[in-house]
């Protein structure tokens, strides 16, 4: 029974805003990339944007190269970027203005909180323009500069992401490489790096040689602090992350959610199959992580290698619905059941958690995954959906419905700007635990409508 | 590590060993043949580091090295990384009983140099003992370490012993900051008990001068293979080089979030709740009549304190939110500030817990910090949960945190450097506000009781914690309730 509490309180406790934590920042922030071509600016922009969106900060990348490709339909060669090419300069300046206009729109009309301005921004003059623009609008500015003089890294970058760019569709590899290197030279003459002294009043991070060194200046607020922490933990060393659920559990068989049961006989078979699979992959220095729940630990035990238990990887807490079947939930809490279908991401089980809470809980796991190299994470359905959503940049709406079936290993390998996914079904039968969103999510719906998408069980 | 692998081979066909649940922490561990839990390594959240770490401070006197050392040590211990600081100045004071003047530190004082080198080596010896024999994971070597030569000695020492090294350098040229440091912590030093303020300051400035000529700051080029963070002007700028592992990454993050701007943190619990009155733990009840009175009194108290830019934080439980509502300023809800989850014991009275779960009740009394309620949490879990709250408290300035008994104990333990043994028994009565103000190397605590009656919810550790004890012995220390 609620006593006379302000409506605000009721709204807050339900599903609204400040889910698990308070505001990150009070005003919109522009993150401005700085650096010569092929220094990883777009890689950082996309990765950072993916991370910020995942933790609930609406973020978007504004890539100047794309604006330029729209303005100048066909790319001829590096001459476009020559500093004495007046015509091109005019176009490039217009593109920058256009991008900034879109940023203003993103903040004002689309509830954006962070805009990542992905361009070279290599002159103090260009940065000055951006700073004035931000000041006028009341945005905070944080610069991220990537500095790299290792020719091997630069060439690897070019090979990975530049050669497949629309700019070089009609070039062969060697020609493209030569042209791109000349393009970089066009910028070098006028490149002025962020200066510790002259620009000491700006907020920025300078990343040297893919993270061996960082210079951090004037972090203004919580979010910039988190961004710096994230940037300092990511790396580009090739590796793979394997995600899998525990083997089928006793409660899975009964169609019951949550709990802390052991593996069924099929589940044990899966554990052994997983062990063989992992051995077959010949992974160097593999770390294995489980939750604190019996079923993931039992699964890991079969691997015969050391593993680490993380409480943060425990399955979503279904509160009063723990160990119930969907049928029972419908019978005892039909309204809750409907509310969950209306907004599965934000819905919090009574005395339990929401997917939104889960994401917050998993953030340190993601951070450590970024630091690590080869890792196998043995977890649970809702948890795996959250982790997958991070790696594959899925929205909050898609996340709770991602398909993560039992007895299937997903191998994620970072590639170019994204993640390659390989799915391995280890051929051990298991129940299906995936419940799609039903068509009728109305609170007054009939039980048949509510239970239409419940998968079969004993 | 090898323990697990050996056993698996022995088991032959059955590749999955039996699991038993550790009764205290409710952690599943493989059991050996005789059914007892096996020695299992990393049950901690994550393996912080594979080998011990030596943190080495670098900087001229009065640059905040000891402040950073102590604060960092406090933080690491709180997040369960056994850490200890070794202050060479203290070794020197033990060696040279009476400090005469800055002349001791003159670079041409052969005798002085000899003693100082001996002290450094004695400290390093104790570091080795702590990290190798006493289960320490991080040692903070707090000294000026201003020459490359001295740092080389330390690096060699670390290499010989298999320790990782991470340097923390503090560089500051702001005369105001340095003067303030001297006033805050140097004047009160044992070195200057017999001096008046002017004399002490004058002497200390000359002491700094002794180091200046030979000071070789960490260099981006010359020291590019070392792992370090250079803190410039109390955090305006940082240079971070070659972070090697998780713990160094966490240390860097922490150092980048702390500041020294004067401020106060107010901690209090929600007003007395209906369940409090009934002697029941947990739950999500509203405030009792007296609890509401407290909320009003709190509002008045906060007003009277005239705090600039106060942030107010609550948990997501009704009783803290109701309390904040009465204060009348905007507040932010943190799920992380929710009370410890008592699992199957939620909303029970201690008498009922004794009746239904006497074994659990006894286990809890045996190790209240690590004990996890069935389907619930432990204080150890709480600390992990609260770490982002602490990090944000470090970033903020004036904050009022309205939370719960167990939560408040954890936060208090962080600020007052209490051990895991003391933490669960810290006294955090209802209707009392604690005002914490950082001062010198620690925290000043002012306790303000807002004179509104409330039940006592503090249960001391009983004498008898044996699982076979009588109900009477178990319930000896339960506070009275309705």
> pLDDT digit string (tens) for B134-149?
999 999 999 999 999 9
Best mutation target, A2, A234, A297, A304, to test chain B (most B CBs within 10 A): A304
- B330 contacts on A by Cβ (under 8 Å): none
Q: Is A161 exposed, middle or buried (0-12, 13-18, 19+ CB in 10 A)?
A: middle
> pLDDT digit string (tens) for A324-334?
999 999 999 99
Catalytic residue, candidates A95, A145, A148, A179: A148
Return residues 57-96 of B near A (CB < 8 Å): none
Best mutation target, B1, B3, B6, B16, to test chain A (most A CBs within 10 A): B16
Rounded to the nearest angstrom, the minimum Cα separation between A146 and chain B is 14
CB contact under 8 A, A301 and B30: yes
Determine the residue of chain B that is closest to A196 in CA distance.
B237
> pLDDT digit string (tens) for A21-66?
555 667 999 999 999 999 999 999 999 999 999 999 999 999 999 9
A292: nearest CB among B5, B28, B286 = B28
Catalytic residue, candidates A315, A317, A336, A353: A315
Q: Which pLDDT value is given to residue B185?
A: 86
User: Which parts of A56-123 fold into alpha helices (H)?
Assistant: 64-71, 86-109
Q: Which pLDDT value is given to residue B8?
A: 37
B286 Cβ under 8 Å from any chain A Cβ: yes
Q: Where are the beta strands (DSSP E) in B320-439?
A: 332-333, 399-403, 432-439
Rounded to the nearest angstrom, the minimum Cα separation between A213 and chain B is 4
Question: What is the b/e burial string over A262-278, where b = at least 16 CB atoms within 10 angstroms of the residue's CB?
Answer: bbbebbbbbbbbbbebb
B233 Cβ under 8 Å from any chain A Cβ: no
Rounded to the nearest angstrom, the minimum Cα separation between B51 and chain A is 17
CB contact under 8 A, A262 and B19: yes
Distances (CA, A) of A26 to A74, A220, A223, B168: 41, 11, 10, 32
Catalytic residue, candidates B85, B169, B172, B377: B172
A215: nearest CB among B30, B239, B318 = B239
**ipTM score:** 0.90
B237: nearest CB among A216, A271, A293 = A216
Residue B46, pLDDT > 60, answer no
For A216: left if phi > 0, alpha if psi spans -120 to 50, otherwise beta; the answer is beta
Determine the residue of chain B that is closest to A5 in CA distance.
B322
> Residue B262's CB: how many other CB atoms inside 10 A?
10
The arithmetic mean of pLDDT across residues B252-259, rounded, is: 97
pTM reported for the whole predicted model: 0.92
B262 Cβ under 8 Å from any chain A Cβ: no
In this structure, what token pair is assigned to residue A152? 């091997």
> pLDDT digit string (tens) for B36-45?
555 444 344 4
Determine the residue of chain A that is closest to B397 in CA distance.
A221
The DSSP output letter for B397 is S
Residue A217, pLDDT > 70, answer yes
Picking from A439, A186, A371, the residue whose alpha carbon sits closest to that of residue B249 is A371
- Residue of A456 and B18 predicted with greater confidence: A456
> pLDDT digit string (tens) for B421-441?
999 999 999 999 999 999 889
B446 Cβ under 8 Å from any chain A Cβ: no
Phi, psi of B433 (to 5 degrees): -105, 130
């Amino acid at each position: 029974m609620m006593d006379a509490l302000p409506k605000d309180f009721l709204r807050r406790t339900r599903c609204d805003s400040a889910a698990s934590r308070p505001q990150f920042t009070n005003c919109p922030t522009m993150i401005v990339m700085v650096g010569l071509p092929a220094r990883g600016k777009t890689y950082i922009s996309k990765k950072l944007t993916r991370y910020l969106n995942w933790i609930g900060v609406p973020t978007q990348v504004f890539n100047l190269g794309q604006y330029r490709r729209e303005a100048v339909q066909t790319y001829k060669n590096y001459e476009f970027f020559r500093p004495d090419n007046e015509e091109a300069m005019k176009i490039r300046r217009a593109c920058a203005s256009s991008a900034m206009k879109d940023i203003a729109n993103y903040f004002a009309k689309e509830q954006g909180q962070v805009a990542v301005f992905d361009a070279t921004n290599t002159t103090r003059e260009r940065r000055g323009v951006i700073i004035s623009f931000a000041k006028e609008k009341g945005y905070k500015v944080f610069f991220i500069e990537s500095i790299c003089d290792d020719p091997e890294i630069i060439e690897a970058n070019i090979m990975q992401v530049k050669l497949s760019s629309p700019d070089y569709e009609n070039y062969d590899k060697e020609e493209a490489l030569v042209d791109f290197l000349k393009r970089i030279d066009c910028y070098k003459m006028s490149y002025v790096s962020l200066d510790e002294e002259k620009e000491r009043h700006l907020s920025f991070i300078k990343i040297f040689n893919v993270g061996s060194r960082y210079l951090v200046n004037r972090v203004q607020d919580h979010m910039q602090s988190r961004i710096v922490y994230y940037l300092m933990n990511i790396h580009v060393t090739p590796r793979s992350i394997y995600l899998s659920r525990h083997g089928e559990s006793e409660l899975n068989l009964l169609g019951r959610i949550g709990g802390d049961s052991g593996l069924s006989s099929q589940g044990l078979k899966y554990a052994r199959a997983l062990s063989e699979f992992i051995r077959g992959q010949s992974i160097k220095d593999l770390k294995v992580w489980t939750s604190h729940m019996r079923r993931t630990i039992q699964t890991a035990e079969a691997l015969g290698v050391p593993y680490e238990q993380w409480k943060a990887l425990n399955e979503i807490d279904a509160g009063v619905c723990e160990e119930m079947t969907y049928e029972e939930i419908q019978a005892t809490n039909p309204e809750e059941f409907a509310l969950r279908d209306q907004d599965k991401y934000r819905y919090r089980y009574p005395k339990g958690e929401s997917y939104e809470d889960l994401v917050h809980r998993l953030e340190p796991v993601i951070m450590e995954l970024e630091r690590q190299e080869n890792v196998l994470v043995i977890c649970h359905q809702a948890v795996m959906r959250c982790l997958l959503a991070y790696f594959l940049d899925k929205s909050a709406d898609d996340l709770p419905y991602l398909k993560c079936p039992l007895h299937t290993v997903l191998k994620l390998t970072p590639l170019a700007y994204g993640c390659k996914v390989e799915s391995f079904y280890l051929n051990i039968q298991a129940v299906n635990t995936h419940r799609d969103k039903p068509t009728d999510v109305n609170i007054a719906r009939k039980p048949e409508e509510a239970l239409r998408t419940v998968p079969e069980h004993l | 590590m090898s323990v697990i692998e050996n056993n698996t081979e022995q088991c032959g066909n059955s590749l999955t060993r039996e699991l038993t649940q550790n009764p205290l922490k409710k952690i599943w561990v493989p059991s050996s043949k005789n059914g007892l839990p096996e020695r299992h390594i990393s049950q901690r959240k994550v393996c912080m580091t594979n080998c011990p770490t030596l943190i080495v401070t670098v900087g001229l006197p009065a640059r905040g090295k000891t402040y950073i050392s102590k604060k960092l040590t406090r933080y690491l211990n709180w997040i369960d990384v056994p850490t200890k600081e070794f202050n060479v100045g203290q070794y020197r004071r033990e060696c040279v009983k009476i400090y005469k003047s800055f002349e001791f530190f003159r670079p041409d004082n052969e005798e002085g140099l000899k003693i100082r080198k001996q002290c450094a080596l004695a400290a390093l010896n104790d570091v080795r003992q702590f990290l190798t024999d006493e289960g320490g994971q991080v040692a903070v070597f707090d000294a000026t370490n201003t020459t490359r030569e001295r740092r080389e000695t330390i690096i060699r020492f670390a290499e010989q012993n298999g320790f990782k090294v991470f340097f923390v350098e503090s560089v500051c040229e702001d005369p105001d900051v340095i003067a303030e440091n001297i006033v805050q912590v140097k004047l009160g030093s044992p070195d200057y008990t017999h001096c008046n303020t002017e004399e002490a300051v004058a002497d200390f400035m000359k002491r700094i001068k002794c180091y200046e000529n030979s000071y070789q700051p960490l260099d981006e080029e010359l020291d590019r293979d070392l792992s370090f963070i250079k803190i410039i002007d109390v955090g305006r700028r940082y240079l971070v080089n070659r972070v090697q592992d998780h713990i160094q990454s966490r240390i860097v993050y922490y150092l980048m979030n702390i500041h020294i701007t004067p401020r106060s943190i107010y901690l209090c619990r929600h007003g007395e709740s209906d369940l409090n009155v009934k002697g029941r733990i947990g739950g999500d009840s509203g405030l009792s009549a007296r609890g509401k009175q407290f909320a009003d009194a709190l509002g008045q108290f906060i007003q009277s304190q005239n705090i600039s830019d106060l942030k107010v934080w609550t948990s997501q439980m009704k009783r803290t939110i109701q309390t904040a509502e009465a204060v009348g300023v905007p507040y932010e809800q943190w799920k992380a500030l929710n009370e410890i989850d008592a699992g199957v014991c939620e909303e029970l009275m201690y008498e009922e817990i004794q009746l239904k779960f006497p074994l659990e009740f006894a286990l809890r009394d045996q190790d209240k910090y690590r004990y996890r309620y069935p389907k619930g949490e432990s204080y150890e879990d709480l600390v992990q949960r609260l770490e982002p709250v602490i990090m944000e408290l470090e970033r903020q300035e004036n904050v009022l945190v309205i939370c719960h008994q167990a939560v408040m104990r954890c936060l208090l333990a962080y600020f007052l450097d209490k051990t895991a043994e003391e933490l669960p028994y810290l006294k955090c009565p209802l209707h009392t506000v604690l005002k914490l103000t950082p001062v010198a190397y620690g925290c000043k605590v002012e306790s303000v009781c807002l004179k509104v009656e409330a039940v006592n919810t503090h249960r001391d550790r009983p004498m008898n914690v044996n699982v076979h004890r009588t109900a009477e012995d178990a319930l000896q220390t339960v506070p009275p309730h309705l």
